[in-house]
Amino acid sequence: MMEIKTIGIASDHAGYALKQFVKQYLDEKGLAYKDYGTYTEESCNYADFGHALARGIESGEVYPGIAICGSGEGISMTLNKHQSIRAGLCWIPEIAHLIRQHNNANVLVMPGRFIDNDTARRIMDEYFATDFEGGRHQQRIDKIPL
């Protein structure tokens, strides 16, 4: 099982409702979290909250992270601009397993407009339960930063 500190969470307006469910899930699991915003469904920019979450992970304040926007793509692109962030977009549990096992993803990204709460729960269960395999996968990860 992955090492968990305080979990960082972030979303834009399109991911806000699912983020509220994520907070409920984390509360049920007894896992601490820090919410980097947004705090309403009012239209906003995913990059503002993605960068805040990435900085929280980079500073060691939180680990891992969960991020949500409408498609999951915009906030993933933002997060992955940071050299130490490996954000993986998941819409089924099997992908959550692989982003942990093979990519050692430190941010789980979900598409708020395309998955329901039950699917999100199964994705998070899989993400948190899966360890990084290392070995040849670490060699690949080492080649990511520019």
Task: State the pairing for strand pair 107-111/87-89.
Answer: parallel
Distance CA 15, CA 73 (A): 12
Residue 121 main-chain phi, psi, to 5 deg: -60, -45
Distance CA 61, CA 45 (A): 23
Q: Is 51 a catalytic site residue? A: no
Q: Is 102 a catalytic site residue? A: yes
DSSP helix/strand/coil, 11: strand
Q: Please, how many CA atoms are within 13 Å of residue 117, restricted to the half-sphere of its CB?
A: 11
The catalytically annotated residue of 69, 82, 97, 137 is 69
Active site residues: 69, 102
